[in-house]
A and B are shown apart, each in its own frame.
Chain A
Amino acid sequence: MQLESSQEAVARIPGISAAAFQSVEKELDTSPSLIELRNLNIHYGSFHAVNDVNLSIKQNSITAFIGPSGCGKSTVLRCINRMNDLIPSARVDGEILYHGQDVNARNVDPVEVRRRIGMVFQRPNPFPKSIYENVAWGARINGYKGNYDELVEASLVRAALWDEVKDKLKDSGLSLSGGQQQRLCIARALATNPDVILLDEPASALDPISTLKIEELLRELESDYTIVIVTHNMQQAARVSDRTVFFSLNENRQGILVESGPTQKMFTNPEDPRTEGYISGRFG
């Protein structure tokens, strides 16, 4: 019954049908939350980029971050595995709890955090090494003791890249096209076997077929991993994610979290008019 009413509502949003939703009836609110952001504020120097974000990310689910360009999606994502430590001007206030433990606490080693929370960056950044080595390296430094040929193949297959590169694994990762590099970076992240995977627009340079393959992969991974994906593609967010988080800019051009909730609800019956405006394309 509930399904029917949502189908009606969905018709208002161009290009998205209710059938596109991944798991309409999945009861998410009971699953435990793995990552909690509490009063998260992020500054770059004196610029207040992200203002007071509170969010919980459920285990074994896919969470989509959507919102206009420059609203701080990448910034929030990069904080979760402490990649912003590398930017000297960045300052993070508030709590980021992973399994209830603050990742920014003094006694937490960022290397340990990043080993468990892997990342695929917005701009593809393969190593200037062979395709094989690009995938194998992360596993090697993390002490993988299994068969490397199998690991490399399995990771590339999952990232929908194997068929294109299986005959040139010795070639440089930089010789690949932009979209292939993006998938190589996904394969590289998978090969280290993290618990959480953060993906920053992983399909922005991909054709529709590769995009669908990546989306299939994400759904497949969902049972073992917790996934956060940033995307500008509303259909993609609707197709793959269980929960959607909408970020936007406030009047001071600071990034804020407007609304978050189950994807189906966010796309059919959002509480905030700004969310509806953005999703239906009336506001960019």
Chain B
Amino acid sequence: MSSELISSASQISKAEYQPRVSARQTIGRIWRWVFFGSTALAIVLLGMLLWSVIGPGWNWLSWGLITNPPSRFPEKAGMNPAIWGSIWIVLGSGVAAFIMGLGTAIYLEEYAEKGRFNDFIQTNISNLAGVPSIVYGLLGLVVFVDLMHMGRTLIAGVLTMALLILPVVVISSREAIRAVPPSLREASYGLGATKWQTVWNHVLPSAFPGILTGIILAMSRAIGETAPLLVVGGASQVLWRPDGPFSTFMVMPLQIYNWTGRPHEEFEHLAAAAIIVLMIILLLMNSVAIGLRQHFSRKARW
């Protein structure tokens, strides 16, 4: 039987192969241009967006915008409280979501038994990531502001935002943990390591760049979110930057929203300038995060 196999295999003749290398290369080149086109389109759209903001806002950029509190007079108006509010919200919710989200991801990936229950949780977390953000705002209003008597304070905003970004953090951390090759776990267990020693010394360091990427994306989302904070933070003008978890707060997107709603044309320019500031802060935040990620992925490279 095996000799039959061999003889039929040796009948495969060279003539049956039609490599058509240049035709395959042409197909490859066509796809290259398709991908280039989609990249170019994205860049053009982004450029148009930037232009529509930088055009009207550029002349209104000033130190005062960053250092002054809001004011009725456009020349004196600034967004200092909003900048601080946004920074605290992003950092606070980032840290809270990181701790809770990573903990959940580690539990589900490494400890919980794989099966129906795990799949059920996974599906629900994915669904939570798609819930409109205003719903989280209402949840925060009921649970943190009213039930827990926090009022419309920074801490209520931070916790609401943390819940909002939690599903994304859990999902991305899980993906990162799952991408750690099984051979690495085997190497660790094979030496007599416990689960915790394996997770802490090998799985997490290897997954960390991926986990950081998820956190960065989640925090970028948190800095731009407006709707839930409109509900838990209130839209009232705040003149001082937050001085503790229980102080009132303002955030940049809310400030921008507030200014665009005013009748004077100057405030529209101010809003455009504020958007530029928001984008610069976002850019700074992302660069720091990307630097961190690079640092960690150099340490844990395959």
A residues with CB within 8 A of B: 81, 83, 86, 88, 110-112, 114-116, 118-119, 121, 123, 125-128, 137-138, 141-142, 172, 174, 185, 188-189, 192, 194
Closest 7 CB pairs of A and B: A115-B192, A138-B191, A125-B183, A119-B190, A125-B187, A114-B192, A141-B197
B190 A123 Cβ-Cβ under 8 A: no
B189 A114 Cβ-Cβ under 8 A: yes
**Smallest CB-CB separation from A174: which chain B residue?**
B302
Q: How far is the CA of A125 from the CA of B198 in the complex (A)?
A: 14
Q: Which chain A positions have C-beta within 8 A of B184? A: 125, 127-128
Q: How far is the CA of A140 from the CA of B192 in the complex (A)?
A: 11
**In whole Å, how far is B118's beta carbon from the nearest beta carbon of chain A?**
11
Q: Which chain A positions have C-beta within 8 A of B301? A: 128, 172, 174
Query: Given known contacts A86-B182, A86-B185, is B197 in contact with A121 (CB within 8 Å)?
Result: no
Q: Which chain A positions have C-beta within 8 A of B185? A: 86
**Smallest CB-CB separation from B206: which chain A residue?**
A128
**In whole Å, how far is B48's beta carbon from the nearest beta carbon of chain A?**
43
**Smallest CB-CB separation from B194: which chain A residue?**
A111
State whether the Cβ of B146 lies closer than 8 Å to any Cβ in chain A. no
9 A–B pairs (Cβ distance < 8 Å), ordered by A: A81-B190, A83-B190, A86-B186, A125-B183, A125-B184, A128-B302, A137-B191, A185-B187, A188-B191
**In whole Å, how far is A223's beta carbon from the nearest beta carbon of chain B?**
22
Instruction: Say which size band chain B's interface belongs to.
Output: 20 to 34
Q: Which chain B positions have C-beta within 8 A of A174? A: 301-302
**Which parts of B162-188 form the interface with A (CB within 8 Å)?**
182-188
**In whole Å, how far is A175's beta carbon from the nearest beta carbon of chain B?**
10
B190 A111 Cβ-Cβ under 8 A: no
A121 B186 Cβ-Cβ under 8 A: yes
Query: Given known contacts A121-B183, A174-B301, is B202 in contact with A127 (CB within 8 Å)?
Result: yes
Q: Which chain A positions have C-beta within 8 A of B114? A: 88
Q: Which chain B positions have C-beta within 8 A of A81? A: 190
State whether the Cβ of B201 lies closer than 8 Å to any Cβ in chain A. yes
State whether the Cβ of B193 lies closer than 8 Å to any Cβ in chain A. yes
**Smallest CB-CB separation from B299: which chain A residue?**
A128
**Smallest CB-CB separation from A114: which chain B residue?**
B192
A123 B206 Cβ-Cβ under 8 A: no
**In whole Å, how far is A157's beta carbon from the nearest beta carbon of chain B?**
19
Q: Which chain A positions have C-beta within 8 A of B190? A: 81, 83, 114, 118-119, 121, 189
**In whole Å, how far is B137's beta carbon from the nearest beta carbon of chain A?**
40
Q: Which chain B positions have C-beta within 8 A of A112? A: 192
**In whole Å, how far is A177's beta carbon from the nearest beta carbon of chain B?**
15
**In whole Å, how far is B74's beta carbon from the nearest beta carbon of chain A?**
56
Q: How far is the CA of A248 from the CA of B194 in the complex (A)?
A: 34
**In whole Å, how far is B199's beta carbon from the nearest beta carbon of chain A?**
13
Q: Which chain A positions have C-beta within 8 A of B135? A: none
Query: Given known contacts A137-B201, A172-B301, is B193 in contact with A126 (CB within 8 Å)?
Result: no
State whether the Cβ of B300 lies closer than 8 Å to any Cβ in chain A. yes
Q: How far is the CA of A86 from the CA of B182 in the complex (A)?
A: 9
B192 A83 Cβ-Cβ under 8 A: no
A189 B191 Cβ-Cβ under 8 A: yes
Q: Which chain B positions have C-beta within 8 A of A111? A: 189, 192-194
A123 B191 Cβ-Cβ under 8 A: no
Most chain A beta-carbon neighbours within 10 Å: one of B187, B189, B190, B206: B190
A127 B186 Cβ-Cβ under 8 A: no
Q: How far is the CA of A119 from the CA of B192 in the complex (A)?
A: 10
Q: Which chain B positions have C-beta within 8 A of A118? A: 190-192
Q: How far is the CA of A2 from the CA of B18 in the complex (A)?
A: 63
